[in-house]
Amino acid sequence: MGKTLVEKIWDAHVVKRDEGYPDILYIDTHFIHEVTSPQAFDGLRKRGLPVFRPAQTIATADHNVPTLNQHLPIQETLSRYQVDMLTKNCAEFGVELYGLGHPFQGIVHVIGPELGITLPGATIVCGDSHTSTHGAFGAIAFGIGTSQVEQVLATQCLLQQPPKTMRITVDGMLGPGVSAKDIILYIIAKISAAGGTGYFIEYAGSTIRSLSMESRMTICNMSIEMGARGGLIAPDETTFEYIKGREFAPKGAGWDKALAQWNTLYSDSDAVFDAELTFDAADIEPMITYGTNPGMGIGISQFVPSTNSQELSERPSYQKALNYMGIEDDSALLGKEIDYVFIGSCTNSRMEDLRAVADFVKGRQKAPNVIAWIVPGSKQIEQQAIAEGLDQVFEAAGFQLREPGCSACLGMNEDKIPAGKYCVSTSNRNFEGRQGPNSRTFLASPLTAAAAAITGRITDVRSLLTENTYA
Amino acid sequence: MKKFTTLTTQVVPLPIENVDTDQIIPARFLKATTREGFGENLFCDWRYDASGSPRPDFVLNNPIYSGKALVAGKNFGCGSSREHAAWALQDYGFDVVISSFFADIFKGNALNNGLLPIQLSDGFVQRIFLAAETDPQAQVTVDLEAQTVTIETTKEYESFEINPYKKSCLINGYDDIDFILNQRAAVEQFEQQKAVV
C-alpha cells in the first residue's frame, strides 16, 4: 500500500520508534518569537543545557511589537522587556534574530517562506498554532507549547504520536470575488471548529492546485481553526517557482538535488487516508463569520442560523456567542454597520492580499465611520508595497498602512479594537475578546474587508466588482 | 514535573463548549517571562467586568463551587498554542480538567505540565454536571493508575484513555526532555545519515 505525503515526510524524520512510546521526531526548522520562548530559555538555563543545533532555530519579534514608530523604543514596559529578553536569549544561546529594525523582521509565518527558509519535505515547528501555514510548501508544520519549544532547543526533536491523515479535495472554478480565505472559512464552517482534531490535512484538487503560494498559505494557516494538527499541500511547479532564488533557498547544485527530492513529495495513488472530504468550489461564495469561533461562518448572502437548528446541548453556547456579538439569529449580516477594518495577520498580510485590496480601493474612499488598518506581514512586504506605490493608494482611500507585526489579530500589543466595536478582520480568530476586551470580530477575506471599509457596512464585494477589479 | 496519582475533589462545572485558550488566558496577559502568576488572570474576561469587579454569575466567583477539577464542555482548549493556558489553570489550583473533547495542543501542553486532561463520554460529563448541580459538594475521584473517574455520590464511574508513556511520565514526574536526552546518540546518528542522503 502506498503512503500519504504526511506519512512520507513523517517517516523520513523518525529518529526512533519503540513500541508503547511516541516517535522521536527530528525537527529540521524551528521558529521562535518573544512570547512563547522566554520560559523555554529559562528551562535550558535551569538544566544547564545549550541550544543543541542553534543554526536550525530562527527568531523574530512579532506578537508584541507596535506597528507605528518601530524606530523608537517600545513604549509599553512589559512588551519592551519581553522583546529585550528575546534579544538577550538569542545572543546568549547563539540563535539568529531578525528583530525590530532588521530588514527581515516580520510575522514569523510570513518571513519563513519569504526568506526561503520554509522548504518542502521539512519538519517545521514554532510555539504558535499558526505554524500550519508552512504546510503550504509540502512540509509537516505544526504549533507547539513552550515546554516543547524547550525540547526542540535542547534536542532538535519532539516526542510525537504519528497523526491521523485527512484529505480535503476542492475541485472546480472559484467565482468572482471568492478567494483562498473564503475556501478555508467555508471548509471550517462545514466541518466545525473541532472537525479536524487529531488529523494532518492534505488539501488537494484542481482548485487548490490553481492557487498561488500566498493563497495556499492562507488555506494551510487556518487548519488549526478546525482543530487539525496541521495542513499541507503537495509541492509543485508553483511551489518551486516561489522558492527559487530566495535568500536562504538552496542554490546551484544544492537546488538540483533538492528539486529531485521535492519531486517525490506527493501522496501515492493507492495511499489511504483516515478521512476524506470533497467540496465543490462553485458552492463557495464570499464568507463571513457571525459568532465566536471560526466554525461559525456563513456565505455573505445567507442568514445567521437559527438557535433551534442547533443541537439541544449546543444551544446555550450558541446563544452565548450571538449575545456576545450582539446579533439576532435568523437575521442577515449584510448591511450591518461596522467600526473597524483590519487587513493583516499571518493569514492575510502578504503582497497578494495588499495588491488585491489596493486594486479594489483605488479611486474609492473609506466610509467616515470606519477606521481601516493595513498591517503588512513583514518589513520586506512593507518595502515592496511602498515601491509599488500601494501606500499612496491606501492613503488616498483613507486606509492607514502601518509597520509589520501581528497587530490587531490578538489583542496583545497596542493595536486593539475597543469594547463593543465591530471589526471586519482578515485574521484567523473571532474568539471573545480576541482583538481586545469585548471587541467583536467578523472574519472575512481581504476583499470583503475592503468592501466593508468602503461602505461602512458588511457588504457583498461582488456587488462592487467591476471588470477591471481584481477577482 | 509535578507527579499525579489519585485525587478526590469537588468539581467546578463550566458547561460551555469550545472554550478557547484566549478565554482561559487573554493574550494581553502573556507578557510575563516566567511560568508563575497566571492563575490571577485565569478566565479574566469571564471572571471580571470592565471595571474589574467579579461577575457574580461566573462559576469561579460562586463560593459554593470549589475543587481541583474543572469540568467543561466539548472542544476545551481550542485555538492558540499558548502553554500559559495550562499554567494558568494549574496556578489557580486545578490538577485535572475533564471534558468530552480536547483540542490537541492544549492536551499536550497540559500533560507536559502535570495537569491531567481527562476525556470522558459526553454522557458521563453530563452526569458530572448533574451531580454538581444537585449537590455542589459532590466529589469525583480520579485514579490515574486505574484510569477511572468515579462520581462519589452515585458511585458511577467511567474509564478514560491515556497514552501509556504519558501516564508513566505523570506518575513518576518525568518529562520528555529527559527521555530524548537519553537518546542523544540515536539523534546524532540520524543527523549523520540524513546529511549523507
Give me the interface pTM, i.e. the ipTM: 0.96
Q: Indicate whether A244 and A272 sit together in one domain.
A: yes
Residues A355 and A262 in one domain: no
CB contact under 8 A, B177 and A154: yes
A128 to B81: CB separation less than 8 angstroms, yes or no: yes
B83, A229: Cβ pair inside 8 Å?
Answer: no
Query: Does some domain include residue A284?
Result: no
Based on the domain organization, do A159 and A32 belong to the same domain? yes
User: Across the interface, which of B83, B103, B183 has its CB nearest the CB of A197?
Assistant: B103
Q: What is the mean pLDDT of each run of 10 residues along chain B (197 residues)?
A: 93 97 97 95 97 96 97 97 98 98 97 97 97 97 98 97 95 91 95 85
A337 with A213, same domain?
no
> Which of A249, A277, A305 corresponds to the end of one domain?
A277
The percent of residues above 90 in pLDDT, for chain A, comes to 98
Report if residue A286 sits inside a domain: no
Q: How confident is the model at residue A284 (pLDDT cuts 50, 70, 90)?
A: very high
- CB atoms A194 and B33 under 8 Å: no
| A423 appears as a binding residue in the annotation | no
- Residues in B closer than 8 angstroms to A39, CB to CB, are 33-35, 83
Collect all residues of chain A within an 8 Å Cβ-Cβ radius of residue B45: 432-433, 437-438
Tell me which residue of B94, B197, B33, B95 sits closest to A26, measured CA to CA: B197
User: Mean pLDDT throughout A68-74?
Assistant: 95
Chain A's closest residue to B110, CA to CA, is A145
Of B73, B81, B194, Cβ closest to residue A127: B81
One domain for residues A214 and A325: no
Mean pLDDT score across all residues of chain A: 97
Chain B residue with minimum CA distance to A78 = B31
Contact A197 B45 (CB under 8 A): no
* Whole-number pLDDT of residue A313: 87
- d(CA A416, CA B28) in angstroms, rounded, equals 10
How would residue A471 be classed by pLDDT, with cut points 50, 70 and 90?
very low
In the stretch 262-281 of chain A, residues with CB closer than 8 A to chain B read none
Contact A42 B33 (CB under 8 A): yes
Select the residue of A20, A144, A154 nearest B165 (Cβ to Cβ). Answer: A20
Choose one of A219, A253, A277: the last residue of a domain: A277
Q: Do A197 and B30 touch (CB under 8 A)?
A: no
pLDDT at B197: 63
In chain A, which among 122-141 make CB contacts under 8 A with chain B?
Answer: 127-129
Question: Chain B contacts of A64, Cβ < 8 Å?
Answer: 31
Between B32, B101, B105, which is nearest A143 by CB?
B105
| Whether residue A263 is found in the same domain as residue A322 | no
pLDDT at residue A468 greater than cutoff 70:
no
Residue A348 has pLDDT above 90, yes or no: yes
- Compute the nearest-CA separation of B155 from chain A (Å): 25
Would residue A446 count as lying in a domain? yes
Q: Is residue A283 part of a domain?
A: no
Check CB contact under 8 Å for A151 and B79. Answer: no
- Could you read off the pLDDT of A110-158 as tens digits, one per residue? 999 999 999 999 999 999 999 999 999 999 999 999 999 999 999 999 9
The pLDDT score that the predictor gives to residue A467 is 57
Q: Quick one: pLDDT band at residue A1, thresholds 50, 70, 90?
A: confident
- Total count of domains within chain A: 2
Are A322 and A206 found together in one domain? no
Q: Does A156 touch chain B (CB under 8 A)?
A: yes
Decide if A342 is inside a domain: yes
Please answer yes or no on whether B15 and A227 come within 8 Å at the CB atom: no
Asked if the Cβ–Cβ distance from B34 to A197 is below 8 Å, we say no
- The verdict on A146 and A68 lying in the same domain is yes
Question: If DSSP states are collapsed to H, E and C, what string results for chain A?
Answer: CCCCHHHHHHHCCEEECCCCCCEEEECCEEEECCCCCHHHHHHHHHHCCCCCCHHHEEEECCCCCCCCCCCCCCCCHHHHHHHHHHHHHHHHHCCEEECCCCCCCECHHHHHHHCCCCCCCCEEEECCHHHHHHHHHCCEEEECCHHHHHHHHHHCEEEECCCEEEEEEEECCCCCCCCHHHHHHHHHHHHCCCCCCCEEEEEECHHHHCCCHHHHHHHHHHHHHHCCCEEECCCCHHHHHHHCCCCCCCCCHHHHHHHHHHCCCCCCCCCCCCEEEEEEHHHCCCEEECCCCCCCEEECCCECCCHHHCCHHHHHHHHHHHHHHCCCCCCECCCCECCEEEECCCCCCCHHHHHHHHHHHCCCCCCCCCEEEECCCEHHHHHHHHHCCHHHHHHHHCCEECCCCCHHHCCCCCCCCCCCCEEEECCCCCCCCCCCCCCEEEECCHHHHHHHHHHCECCCHHHHCCCCCCC
Residue A69 backbone zone (phi > 0: left; psi -120 to 50: alpha; other: beta): left
A220 is in an annotated binding site: no
- Are A157 and A228 part of one and the same domain? yes
B108–A129 C-beta distance less than 8 A: no
The residue of chain B nearest to residue A222, with distances taken between CA atoms, is B79
Q: What is the pLDDT of residues B14-36, one digit of tens each?
A: 999 999 999 999 999 999 999 99
Enclosing domain of residue A297 = 292-463
Question: Do A210 and A81 share a structural domain?
Answer: yes
Collect all residues of chain A within an 8 Å Cβ-Cβ radius of residue B38: none
Q: Is A406 annotated as a binding residue?
A: yes
Q: What is the pLDDT of residues A157-178, one digit of tens each?
A: 999 999 999 999 999 999 999 9
- pTM for the model stands at 0.97
Q: What is the pLDDT of residues A384-408, one digit of tens each?
A: 999 999 999 999 999 999 999 999 9
Listed residues A277, A308, A323: the one ending a domain: A277
Indicate yes or no: CB of B79 within 8 angstroms of CB of A317: no
* Sequence-separated contacts (24+) of B116-120 with Cβ below 8 Å: B116/B4, B116/B142, B116/B144, B116/B170, B117/B76, B117/B77, B118/B142, B118/B149, B118/B160, B119/B160, B119/B161, B120/B149, B120/B158, B120/B160
pLDDT in tens, A180-237: 999 999 999 999 999 999 999 999 999 999 999 999 999 999 999 999 999 999 999 9
Instruction: Report chain A residues whose CB lies below 8 A from the CB of B17.
Output: 314, 317
Same-domain pairing of A208 and A313: no
pLDDT over 70 percentage in chain A: 99
- Determine whether the interchain pair A81/B112 forms a contact, defined as Cβ–Cβ distance below 8 Å: no
Nearest CB among B32, B80, B177 relative to A151 is that of B177
Nearest CB to B31 within list A47, A64, A320 = A64
- The reply to whether A150 touches chain B by the CB within 8 Å rule is yes
Q: What is the CATH number of the domain that holds A251?
A: 3.30.499.10
Q: What is the pLDDT of residues A396-441, one digit of tens each?
A: 999 999 999 999 999 999 999 999 999 999 999 999 999 999 999 9
**Tens of pLDDT, residues A34-52:** 999 999 999 999 999 999 9
Beta carbons within 10 angstroms of residue A302's beta carbon: 16
Question: Does A245 share its domain with A305?
Answer: no
